A and B are shown apart, each in its own frame.
Chain A
Amino acid sequence: MSLTETDFITLIKNQFIYKLKAHIGLLNRLAVAQLVILLLTFGRTGMSGSGGDSIDFEIQRYANYLFLIISMMGVTIIGVMLSNETFRNTDFTFVSNRLSSNLSNIVFLLTVSVVAGMTASLYGVVIRLLLYFTQGSENIIGENFFLAPKELLLGIFGAILYMILFSAIGYFLGTLTKSSRSRFLLPVLVTLFLVTLVSLFIMIPNGSQTTIFSALYQFFAHEKNLFIFMVKILVIGGLLFLGSILVSNRREVRQ
Chain B
Amino acid sequence: MNAMNGSILILLVLFLVIIAPGKSRDNKKRRWGRNTGKWILVTYCGVMLASVVVLYLIPDQGFLYPAKEVPYQVKEVPYQIGDQEYSNENIKSIEIIESIDIDIFQAIQENKLDQKSGIYLQEEKSFAFSEEELGLTFNEYLPVIVKRKAQNDGQIDTAYYTTKSYIRGFDLSDRIKPPTIELIGEKLYVTSQLTEIKIAEVEDDPIVNQFLGQNSWEDKWNIVTNWGERALYLEIPRDVQIKEGPYELRYITE
Contacts and interface: CB of A to CB of B under 8 A. Distances in A.
Contacts of B207: 68, 121, 154-155, 158-159, 162
Contacts of A147: 55, 205
Contacts of B38: 21, 24
A182 interface: no
Tell which of B16, B23, B41, B200 has the most Cβ of chain A within 10 Å: B200
Contact of A206 (B88, B168, B195, B200): B88
B1 A54 contact: no
Contacts, number: 259
Contact of B41 (A56, A115, A141, A145): A115
Contacts of A66: 6, 9-10
B75 to A, nearest CB: 19
B210 A223 contact: yes
B202 A63 contact: yes
Interface stretch (A2-10, A127-135, A238-246): A127-135
A23 B26 contact: yes
A122 B52 contact: yes
Contact of A146 (B41, B60, B225): B60
Chain A interface category by residue count? 35 or more
B51 A33 contact: no
Interface in B29-63: 37-38, 40-41, 44-45, 48-49, 51-52, 54-55, 58, 60-63
Contacts of A70: 10, 13-14
B62 A138 contact: yes
Nearest to A21: B38
B84 interface: no
A45 B9 contact: no
A84 B19 CA distance: 12
Given A119-B44, A128-B202, A54 B195 contact: yes
A107 interface: no
Chain B interface category by residue count? 35 or more
Given A56-B197, A61-B201, A129-B54, A27 B9 contact: no
Contact of A126 (B16, B23, B48): B48
B6 A25 contact: no
B52 A58 contact: no
Contacts of A132: 58
B90 interface: yes
A145 B27 CA distance: 43
Interface string B150-179: 000000000000000001101010001100
Contacts of B206: 63, 65, 68
A87 interface: yes
Interface string A152-164: 1011001100100
Nearest to B141: A53
Contacts of B208: 151, 154-155, 158
B212 interface: yes
B196 interface: yes
A87 B23 contact: yes
Interface stretch (A35-43, A97-105, A172-180): A35-43
Interface in A13-36: 21-33, 36
A31 B40 CA distance: 10
A151 B205 contact: yes
B11 interface: yes
A189 B90 CA distance: 33
A50 to B, nearest CB: 4
A168 B130 CA distance: 85
A141 B217 contact: no
Given A55-B176, A86-B23, A146-B60, A62 B202 contact: yes
Interface string B205-244: 1111011100001001111010100000000000000000
Closest 5 CB pairs of A and B: A142-B63, A158-B207, A137-B62, A63-B203, A54-B192
